[in-house]
């Protein structure tokens, strides 16, 4: 049984030379529930502790009043410029969901990438996702555009998010047949209280193809932190998302998570993330933190034993 508070371990993402920290820091809160100063404190703490993988998207956080999208990328880009530590981090961002840059046409992908590069204050994106499948555009067009960015040195690797297993296989076949850059990872929702779709649809394709998952909503929009309890009102901008898991099944899973967390003297978040790391198709999970205190609670690395894993598995079915 291993647990420590650092992020010293590195995980090689299959089919790449990317060496990832065991936690990917989610940037969805940057420029939204965390202002720029708070966000920079969190990023600095993460990197100082050995973290190197940060996830964002051009659409973060267009949904907030007064925002237009790109706020998270700008926060990260400003941190990288002021700290001089761009080379110390692996940045993942995404295209297709921003209202002013929607979809996966070739022209939109290229224009959105240039927008993201400008906001990120960098000349390359380490991992560039198709944020959602766009079936109105041929995979040939989409993948040819991504390939052009890789060939131009603007993007190192490409990946898919919110793709079904079937569409991921189809995209991989197109890339293989045409000699284009290929998706190297899949970012779909996966956590202890939302398992069926990933395990039934995505995981078999990942296992077959050798790709890995980098799941979002790893903590079920905060539900698996333990702060959401029956009859308790939580004052959080993310509470609406977490409340979707607040049911009999969710609380059954949470009880097991909290029991193991208590026995390990760590947070429920650390246990939920440890369970994801133990899944065979998962590279690293994504989780966000609004404050340094929240960050420290999710940077604790725990290696669950077989009994603990079985208890968590059984609770979620």
* pLDDT tens profile 140-177: 999 999 999 999 999 999 999 999 999 999 999 999 99
Predicted pLDDT of residue 238: 57
CA distance 227 to 218: 15
CA distance 32 to 240: 15
Q: Where are the chain's structural domains? A: 10-221+280-290
Cβ neighbours of 181 (radius 10 Å)? 19
Cβ neighbours of 209 (radius 10 Å)? 17
* pLDDT tens profile 266-301: 999 999 999 999 999 999 999 999 999 999 999 998
| Residue 2: pLDDT band with limits 50, 70, 90 | very low
CA distance 23 to 97: 24
Please tell me the pTM assigned to this model. Answer: 0.94
Whether the CB-CB separation of 4 and 303 falls below 8 Å is answered with: no
**Residue given tokens 């299959």 in the structure block:** 14
pLDDT beyond 60 at 222: yes
Predicted pLDDT of residue 280: 97
Whether the CB-CB separation of 148 and 178 falls below 8 Å is answered with: no
10-221+280-290 fold: TIM Barrel (3.20.20)
DSSP string covering the chain, please?
--EES----EEEPTTS--EEESSEEE-TTBTTTB-HHHHHHHHHHHHHTT--EEE--TTTTTTSTT--S-HHHHHHHHHHHHHT-GGG-EEEEEEBEETTEES--HHHHHHHHHHHHHHTT-S-EEEEEE-S--TTS-HHHHHHHHHHHHHTTSEEEEEEES--HHHHHHHHHHHHHHT---EEEEE-B-BTTB-HHIIIIIHHHHHHHT-EE--B-TTGGGGGGT---TT-----TTHHHHHTT-SHHHHHHHHHHHHHHHHHTS-HHHHHHHHHHTSTTBS--EEE-SSHHHHHHHS-EE---HHHHHHHHHHT-
pLDDT beyond 60 at 256: yes
- Which has the higher per-residue pLDDT, 131 or 230? 131
CA distance 137 to 124: 25
- Phi and psi at residue 301, to the nearest 5°: -95, 125
- Which has the higher per-residue pLDDT, 269 or 231? 269
Is there a cis peptide before residue 61, judged by omega within 30 degrees of 0? yes
| Residue 233: pLDDT band with limits 50, 70, 90 | low
Q: Tokens in use for 260?
A: 């193991």
Q: Tokens in use for 265?
A: 């003297």
* pLDDT tens profile 49-64: 999 999 999 999 999 9
pLDDT beyond 50 at 69: yes
| Residue 1: pLDDT band with limits 50, 70, 90 | very low
Contacts of 130 (CB under 8 A, 6+ apart): 94, 95, 96, 104, 142, 146, 158, 159, 160, 161, 163, 183
Q: Could you tell me what percent of the chain has a pLDDT over 70?
A: 94
- Residues, the chain, total? 317
User: By C-alpha distance, which of 82, 86, 35, 80 is closest to 61?
Assistant: 35
Long-range contacts of 234-241 (CB under 8 A, 24+ apart): 236/33, 237/32, 237/33, 238/33
| Beta-strand relationship, 19-21 and 10-12 | antiparallel
């Amino acid at each position: 049984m291993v647990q420590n508070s650092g992020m010293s371990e590195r995980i090689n993402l299959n089919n790449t030379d990317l060496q990832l920290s065991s936690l990917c820091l989610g940037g969805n809160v940057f420029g939204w529930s965390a202002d720029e100063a708070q966000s920079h404190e969190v990023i600095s703490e993460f990197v100082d502790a050995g973290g190197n993988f940060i996830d964002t998207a051009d659409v973060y956080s267009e949904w907030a009043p007064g925002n237009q999208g790109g706020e998270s990328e700008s926060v990260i880009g400003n941190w990288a410029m002021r700290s001089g530590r761009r080379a110390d981090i692996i940045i993942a961002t995404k295209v297709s969901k921003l209202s002013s840059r929607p979809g996966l046409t070739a022209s939109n992908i290229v224009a959105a990438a240039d927008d993201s590069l400008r906001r990120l204050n960098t000349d390359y994106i380490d991992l560039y996702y198709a944020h959602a499948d766009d079936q109105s555009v041929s995979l040939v067009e989409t993948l040819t555009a991504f390939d052009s960015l890789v060939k131009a040195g603007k993007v190192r690797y490409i990946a898919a998010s919110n793709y079904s297993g079937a569409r991921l296989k189809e995209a991989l076949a197109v890339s293989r047949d045409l000699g284009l850059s290929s998706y190297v990872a899949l970012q779909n929702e996966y956590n202890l209280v939302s398992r069926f779709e990933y395990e039934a649809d995505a995981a078999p394709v990942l296992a077959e193809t050798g790709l890995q998952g980098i799941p979002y909503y790893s903590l079920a929009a905060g539900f698996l932190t333990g702060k959401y309890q029956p009859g308790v009102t939580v004052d959080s901008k993310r509470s609406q998302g977490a409340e979707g898991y607040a049911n009999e099944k969710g609380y059954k899973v949470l009880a097991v998570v909290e029991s193991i967390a208590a026995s390990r003297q760590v947070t429920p978040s650390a246990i939920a993330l440890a369970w994801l790391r133990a899944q065979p198709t998962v590279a690293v999970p994504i989780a966000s933190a609004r404050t340094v205190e929240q960050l420290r609670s999710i940077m604790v690395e725990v290696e669950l034993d077989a009994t603990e894993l079985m208890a968590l598995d059984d609770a979620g079915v």
